Structure 1
Amino acid sequence: MSIRRKIIISLFLIIFIIAGLLSFNTIMAGREGRYVKRLLLIHHQYTALLNLKIHVNRQLSEAQDVFIYGKGVDVAGFKRLGALAKGEGRKLADALRAEDVLLKGAGGRDRNSGNERRLLRLDHDYEDLQRQLVLMASLVNMGRKVKAQEHFKRVISRRFGGFFTEIDNWIAIKRAELQATEAGFSRINRRNNYSTIAALSVILLLTVIFAGALVYILESRIRELLRVTERISAGDLQTMAPVRGHDEFSRFAGAMNTMIAGLAASRKRLLEQSYYSGMADMVAGTIHNLRNSLAPVVVDLEAVQGRLTNIRSEQLCRAIDEINGKAAGDVDNSRRCDLLEFIKLSSLEFERQLPLVRSDLDEISAKIALLVEVMNQASRYTAAERALETVTLAEVIKDAMALIGEREGDTITIETAPEVNSLAAFSSQRIVLVQILVNLIDNGLEAVRKSGRADGLLKINAVSRGSEKGRELAVMVTDNGIGISKEMAGRIFQRGISSKSGSYGLGLHWCANAASSLNGSLRAESDGEGRGTVMILTLSV
C-alpha cells in the first residue's frame, strides 16, 4: 500500500472520530439548549404568576378602599385590572403549553393535564372573584353599603385568601422548578464543557499521534536514504538502499539501487579508462622528458665529433704511409721534414684532444645511464610501487642541470640560491623529482629565450616551512621571461594547454600529476605577460 493511501485512510479515520466527538458534543449542546428554553419558560410562568398576583391584589386594595376611606366604586378600574389579570393568565397558559411541548419533544413525561387542571381552577376562582366584586359594586351603588361590606368580609375576603393561597403555592412550585432547572442547566453546562474539553483533547492527541507517526515513518525512511546517499558521496558504491514493501519510498529505494549499480559499473569503466589514459600520459610524459634530455646528449656528441675532426686522422695516416711506403726513397728531405713535423703536431693534438673526448664520452655515458634509469623507472611503474630514496634538493638540481646541458649561444644566467645547499635530506622518488625539475627549468629557459632579453635570468630557490600537514618543502623556479596571464596560470597544468606554439601540452600536465603522486602540488604565479613566471613545487617532507 502506498504512503499516500495510508495517509488518506488515516485521515478518514481521524475525521470519523472527530465527527463522532462533534456529534456527541452537538447532542450535549442540544440538551443544554432545551434546558435554557425550559428555564426561560419557567421564568415567564413565574413572572406571569407574580404579575397576576399583583393585579388581583390591586383589585383587593380598591375594594378595601371603598369601605375604609369611603371611596366610590370604580367599575371601570375593576374591569381594567381584570383585563390585565386575564392577560397575565393567557401568558401563563402560553408558557405552560410551550413547556409541555418542549418536554414532549425531549421524551419527557406529560405534564399538560396537571397544569391545565391547576390553570382551570385558578381561572374559575378568578372569574368567581370577579363576579363577587361586581356584586359588591352593585350593592354599594344601590346604597346598601352595609350589606356590601358584610358581603366583602364574609365572601370576597375568603375568596381572595383562597385565590392568593393557590397563587402562592403555584409560585413556590415554579420557584422550585426554576431552581431545579438552573441546577440541571449548570450540571449539563459543566458536562458539556467537560465533553468539549475531552473532545478537543482527543482531537489534539490524535493529531499529535498521527503527526508523530507520520514524522517517524517519513523521517526513518528519509534517514535511511540519506545514509545511503552519504555513503555514495563518500565513494562507497556497495551499499544498497533497503526496500520495504511497495510504497513510494520502496520504489525510490529500488530506483536508487539501480542507479548505484549503474554508477558502480560506470566507475569501473572510468577507472579502466583512467588507467589506460594514465599509462598513455605516463608514456607521453616519459617520451617528452627523454626528448628534452636527449638534446644535450646530441650536443655533446656533436662536440666529440668536432674534437675528433680536429685530429685529422686520415691526413696523419697518409703522411705515415708516405714516409714508410715503397717510394720512401723518392721523398726528398724537405718533404720528409714537413711530414715528420705534421705527424708530430698531429700527435700532440691527438694527445690534447684525447682526454677531452674521454671526458665528453664519460658525461654522455652518465647522461645515457640516467636516461636508462628513467626508462627503467617508467617500465616498473605498473609492476610495483616506486621506491623512496633519501635525497637532497642540491643533488636533484645537479642531476636536472646535467640532463639539460648548455645550449650554444645562450646568454641566460642560471642561479641556484645558496639556501638550497643547507636544506636537509628527505625521502622521495629521485628520478621523478629530476624529471619535474628538468621540465620546469626547460620551460623557464624557453620563456626567457622568447622574451629576447639580454639579461635573461632563471633562479632556483627553496624554503622549508611548517604547515598543518607537517613539514613542507617549496621549490621555486623563477624566470624573467615572457610571463603568462592570470587565466593561463590557472589552466597551464591541464592536458593539452601550453603557452608554446606547436606543443602538445604534455610536459606541465605530466609534472602536475607527478607532483600529486609525490603527495605534493604544483602551481604557477605571474604578474602578467612580459613580467616573468614563478613555478612553485610543494612537497610534504
Structure 2
Amino acid sequence: SEASHLPTRVDLDSTADGATTEATRTAMHIVVPIRGPDGQAVAGAAFTVRREFAVLGQRMLLLAVAGSVVLLLLLLLAVRWLITTQVLRPLARVERHMKTVQRSGTLALLPGPMSADEIGSLATSFNAMLRQLHDLRQQLESQNFALGKSESATAMLHNVRNALTPVSTILSRASTQTAPVDLALLNRAVAELANDTVAPARREKLAAFVATAVAAEVQDRTDRHRALLVAREAMGQVLEIIGQQQRAVHERPEMSPCDVTDIIARNATIARYSGSVSIAVGFPAQPCHVLASRIILSQVIGNLFANAADAIAAHGTGSGSIRVTIEQTDDMAQIVIRDDGEGFAAGAAPNLFQRGYSTRQHKVGGLGLHWCANAMQAMQGTLRLDSAGPG
C-alpha cells in the first residue's frame, strides 16, 4: 500500500497495545505496535502521513472567502459609484440651481442635457415650472406697471380734487356774498356831504357813516384778497401735482431734505377753506427737516387734512380743530395729526387702507388713504390710523 512507501521509524518507547493517531494541521502521525512472541507490544512503528488535500481545501476555502469579500467590496464600490453619478450628483445639481435661483431671484433654466431617468424627468419638470414662473412674473410686472399708472393717475385726480376744494369754496362764498355797504346809500351820503347846506350834525353823522362804509369796504377787499391768495396757492399746488405727475412718467422721483413744518403750514391754510365748517389748525413753529419727496409728502398731508375736515363736518358741531405734533427720535420724525371729528371703530383701521374702501357714503372710494399708505411706504415711512371709537 501507499503507507509502505512512507518513511518509518521504530519507536522503542511505544508499548501501546493498539495503534495511536495524532493529527496536526499539516500531517497525521501514526504509531502501530510491534508485538513480540508473547503477543505483547515491545515497540512501535511510527510514520507520518502529510495532509496535503486538507491543507489545499483549507486554502481554497480561505481563498473563496477572501474572493467573496473582495467581490462584495467591488460590488459596493460599483453601486456607490452608480448612485453617486446617477442619483446624488444630478440631485445636487438641481439643488444648487434651486439655491442659485432663490438667492439671485433670476428664473434661469437648469442648463445641460437631461437624462431619460426619473431625475431627468424631475429636472425637465423643474425647467417647465421656471418657464411658467418667468412668464407669470412678466405678466405680473406688466399688470403692476399698468395698474400703477392707472392708480397714479386716479390718485393725482383725487389729490387735484382735494387741492381744488378750497378754490371752489372761496368762489362759492364770493358769488353769494353781498357787498358790506349798500352802494346807493353810500352814494347818497356822499352827495349830501357835497352839499354845503347840510347841517353840521347831519354832516358829522354822514361822515361817520361814510368812514365806516369805507372801512368795511377796505376790510372786505382785504378778506377777498387773502382768500384769493389762498386760492392762488391752492391752484399752484394743483399745478405742482400735475407737474410732478408729468415728471414721474419719465423719471423716478427723488427724495431730498424738506421742511415738514412748512408743508404742514401750507396745507393747514388750505384746510381752513376745505368746507363749510370752521376749523382751527395748530402745528409747531420750529422747522423739522425730513428726507422725502416734498410734493408727495404734501399730497399725503393734504389728504389727511381733507379726511380730518370730513370727519369734523360729519360730527355735526359746525366747528372743530386739527392739532399737529412732531416728535424727533434719532433719524426718524413722528408726525401726529389729531382732530376732534367723527371717529371710527378700532377694528376698522386696517380696512381704511384698502383700495376702494370708504366710511363716507357720498365718497367715490377710499383711494386717498390707500395711496397715502403706498406713498409713505415708498418713502421708507409708515402711516397708521388710531381712533377711540365713533362719536
Which TM-score applies when normalising by structure 1? 0.54
CA distance 1:434–1:206, change in 2 (3 Å): same
* Equivalent position to 1:473, from 324, 333, 352: 333
Deviation at 1:508, TM superposition (A): 1.0
Letter in 2 for 1:426: V
Contact 1:237 1:261 in 2 (8 A): no
Hey, what does 2:112 align to over in structure 1? 243
2-side partners of 1:201 and 1:402: how far apart? Answer: 95
User: Which deviates further from its counterpart, 212-221 or 387-396?
Assistant: 212-221
Query: Which structure would you say has the larger Rg?
Result: 1
- Structure 1 unmatched ranges of 5 or more: 1-49, 57-121, 123-155, 324-332, 532-541
Query: 1:464 matched to which residue of 2?
Result: 328
For 2:102 and 2:336, how far apart are their aligned partners in 1?
A: 36
The question of whether the paired residues in 1 share the 8 Å contact of 2:312 and 2:319 is answered with: no
Aligned 8 A contact 1:307 1:353 in 2: no
CA RMSD in angstroms comes to 4.1
Asked if residue 230 in structure 1 is aligned to residue 94 in structure 2, the reply is no
Could you tell me which residue of structure 2 aligns to residue 259 of structure 1?
129
Work out the CA distance in 1 between the residues paired with 2:136 and 2:248: 25
What pairs with 1:89-108 in structure 2 (closer than 5 Å)? Answer: none
CA distance in 1, matches of 2:327, 2:152: 29
In 2, Cα distance between equivalents of 1:316 and 1:299: 30
Say which SS state the counterpart of residue 397 (structure 1) adopts: helix
Asked if the contact 2:264/2:298 (under 8 Å) is kept, the reply is yes
More strand as a share of residues: 2
Partner Cα distance (2:182, 2:295) in 1: 40
| Counterpart in the other structure of 1:375 | 242
Q: Is the 8 A contact 1:293 1:404 kept in 2?
A: no
Q: Kindly tell me: are residues 348 and 448 of structure 1, through their superposed partners in 2, closer, same or farther at Cα, counting changes over 3 Å? A: closer
CA distance in 1: counterparts of 2:81 and 2:325, whole angstroms = 66
**Separation in 1 of the partners of 2:219 and 2:60?**
130
Change beyond 3 A, Cα 1:497–1:202: farther
Partner residue in 1 for 2:168: 298
- Name the CA shift for 1:465/1:217 in 2 (closer, same or farther; >3 Å): farther
Residue 288 of structure 1 is matched in structure 2 by 158
- Please point out which of 356, 374, 383 is paired with 1:522: 383
Structure 2 unmatched runs, 5+: 1-13, 20-31, 192-197
Conservation of the 8 A alpha-carbon contact between 2:327 and 2:333: yes
> In the alignment, what sits opposite 1:87?
none
Amino acid of the structure 1 residue aligned with 2:95: L
Pair 1:196-2:65 in alignment: yes
Alpha-carbon deviation of 1:191? Answer: 6.1
Q: Residues of 2 paired with 1:260 and 1:446: CA distance?
A: 50
Aligned counterparts of 1:346 and 1:457: Cα–Cα separation in 2? 33
| CA–CA distance in structure 1, aligned partners of residues 313 and 58 of structure 2 | 105
Shift of 1:493: 1.8
Give the direction of change, closer, same or farther, for the CA distance of 1:384–1:241 in structure 2 (3 Å limit). same
- Within 2, Cα distance between the matches of 1:352 and 1:370? 27
Q: Name the CA distance, whole Å, in 2 between partners of 1:267 and 1:444.
A: 39
Which is further off, 340-349 or 506-515? 340-349
Which residue does 1:396 correspond to in 2? 263
Q: In the TM superposition, what is the alpha-carbon distance from 1:391 to its structure 2 partner? A: 1.3
Q: Which residue of the partner structure matches residue 443 of structure 1?
A: 307
Deviation of the 1:367 alpha carbon: 1.4
Separation in structure 2 between the aligned mates of residue 371 and residue 399 of structure 1, nearest angstrom: 13
Q: Take 1:234 and 1:497, find their aligned partners in 2: how far apart are those partners?
A: 37
Map Cα deviations across residues 356-411 of structure 1 (whole Å, 9 max, x no partner).
2222212211111111111111122212222444311111111221232244444x
* Deviation digits for residues 467-522 of structure 1 (CA, Å, limit 9, x no counterpart): xxxx2233233446523334x33343222233333441211111112112223232
Change (3 A) 1:453 1:514: same
Q: After the TM superposition, which residues 392-541 of structure 1 pair with which residues of structure 2 at under 5 Å, given as runs?
A: 392-406=259-273, 407-410=275-278, 414-416=281-283, 418=284, 421-423=286-288, 425-447=289-311, 450=314, 458-466=322-330, 471-479=331-339, 481-486=342-347, 488-503=348-363, 504-525=365-386, 529-530=389-390
**Distance (whole Å) between structure 1 residues aligned to residue 134 and residue 230 of structure 2:** 52
Counterpart residue identity of residue 360, structure 2: K
CA–CA distance in structure 2, aligned partners of residues 261 and 477 of structure 1: 49
**Is the alpha carbon distance of 1:402 and 1:202 closer, same or farther for their aligned partners in structure 2, counting shifts above 3 Å?**
farther
Q: Give the secondary structure class of the aligned counterpart of 1:521.
A: coil
How far apart, in 2, do the equivalents of 1:396 and 1:265 lie?
Answer: 44
1:215 maps onto 2:75 in alignment: no
Alpha-carbon shift at residue 434 of structure 1 (Å): 0.8
| Number of equivalenced pairs | 346
Decide whether aligned partners of structure 1 residues 454 and 295 sit closer, same or farther in structure 2, where only a CA change above 3 A counts.
closer
Larger proportion of helix: 1
**Partners of 2:308 and 2:98 in 1: how far apart?**
47
1:362 aligns with 2:241: no
SS state at 2:266 partner:
helix
1:58-83 C-alpha deviation (Å, 9 max, x unpaired): xxxxxxxxxxxxxxxxxxxxxxxxxx
1:158 aligns with 2:37: yes
User: Partners of 1:233 and 1:355 in 2: how far apart?
Assistant: 66
* TM-score, length-scaled by structure 2: 0.71
